[in-house]
Amino acid sequence: MTIQEPYQAGPLPRDLLHALREGGYDVSALAPAPESDTDLPSAAPVAGPQQASHLLCAVYQATGDPAIGLWLGSRMQPDLLGLAGLPAMAGPSLGTALRRIARYQRLMSGDRIELRRQGDEAWVCICPSEPEAPDARPRIDMELCSLLAFGRQFTSKPLHPLRVSLRIGQPDWHRRYTEAFDCPVRFGEPEDAIVFGRRDLALRLMARARSGPSTPSATHEPRPSAASLDDVRAALQQLAGERALSLAAVARHLDVSERTLQRRLMAAGTGFRALCEEARRDLAGRYLTEGAMSLGEIAFRLGFDDANSFFRAFRRWTGMTPGDYRRAAAHPPA
């Protein structure tokens, strides 16, 4: 089937396009079809959830398949989770990964992800920004399926939800939901959610998922025990995206004890909190100067809960708003 709906949403979600091609969909109207996957530039920008959602809307309108979101979501790769993809894969457990993805979604416009614990159950809920939009159902299906696909790909044990809860009434294609989630599916419920056992959130992520850019690999050479102030600053820049950045985390990263690290900072006449602020301030200036990253994306990379918190911190650091800083950097005075 040829997709003729125009798609102009920025960077193309490569893995999603691959899945469409494998499913027999002609995506030539959305992107030039390379002769092979290797023809795609490896350094091309990674698309995020909003780009995937725009593409989904075009696909849904062109195919008319009400269950297209299930098909696509089960084939999506972590890089379609946007900036949350790598931090999620680097997390120690499924629960940590889901919380990082949820925090990223809160900072971006669009649907939100909420995690709740109810007794022995862990609920992962999708809260749509526009629940009555024409493409809301396939988009929610895609988001639920992609979260489950992430968990199944990166946990070391089989992952089977207790059930899936959906707001829609039971449709004619209801069996496709059961096939996609491989668990009981309840229709006409108050929320759209995957319900896991509480213990599922403690499942460890496989080693290949944890070897992100800020996580030393299993074969790394031990760091020298003497950590200089420059080492501490470098570690803080690598770990700045952690919401609860702590002295203990930096000490582990540098392979020194907390007491040793504390002594080094005192000897240098500085403190941990001051260095954290310095690292985040420097990174914020770099992100605002070098690219077109949104404030929400920058806030996520710096470990803030929302863009407003980042806005207030940046104004405290520099006396300028992020927007004013970006404009001044783009048009320096003669």
Q: Which of 3-12, 22-31, 163-172 has the lowest mean pLDDT?
A: 3-12
Reported residue count of the chain is: 334
Rounded CA gap, 261 and 257, in Å? Answer: 6
Asked whether residue 113 is domain-assigned, the answer is: yes
Asked whether residue 74 is domain-assigned, the answer is: yes
One domain for residues 232 and 309 = yes
In the three-class reduction of DSSP (H, G, I as helix; E, B as strand; rest coil), residue 2 is classed as: strand
Range of the domain at 160: 66-202
Query: What mean pLDDT is predicted for residues 5-34?
Result: 54
Q: How many structural domains is the chain composed of? A: 2
One domain for residues 91 and 188 = yes
Asked whether residue 73 is domain-assigned, the answer is: yes
Asked whether residue 8 is domain-assigned, the answer is: no
| pLDDT recorded at residue 314 | 92
Query: What mean pLDDT is predicted for residues 70-78?
Result: 75
pLDDT digits (tens, 9 = 90+) for 124-168: 999 988 888 877 888 899 889 989 988 888 887 778 999 999 999
One domain for residues 193 and 278 = no
Asked whether residue 216 is domain-assigned, the answer is: no
One domain for residues 155 and 233 = no
Q: Which of 6-15, 156-165, 287-296 has the lowest mean pLDDT?
A: 6-15
pLDDT digits (tens, 9 = 90+) for 246-267: 888 888 878 888 888 888 888 8
| pLDDT recorded at residue 12 | 44
One domain for residues 198 and 70 = yes
One domain for residues 266 and 187 = no
Whether 79 has a pLDDT exceeding 60, the answer reads no
| pLDDT recorded at residue 170 | 94
One domain for residues 291 and 261 = yes
Pair 191, 212: CB distance under 8 Å: no
Pair 171, 64: CB distance under 8 Å: no
| pLDDT recorded at residue 97 | 85
One domain for residues 186 and 248 = no
One domain for residues 162 and 257 = no
One domain for residues 267 and 161 = no
One domain for residues 128 and 230 = no
| pLDDT recorded at residue 11 | 41
| pLDDT recorded at residue 26 | 64
One domain for residues 244 and 157 = no
Asked whether residue 13 is domain-assigned, the answer is: no
pLDDT digits (tens, 9 = 90+) for 60-71: 777 778 888 888
- 3 pLDDT band, cuts 50/70/90, is very low
Pair 49, 108: CB distance under 8 Å: yes
Q: Which of 74-78, 93-97, 165-169 has the lowest mean pLDDT?
A: 74-78
Residue 314 belongs to domain with CATH number: 1.10.10.60
Whether 224 has a pLDDT exceeding 70, the answer reads no
90 against 120, higher pLDDT: 120
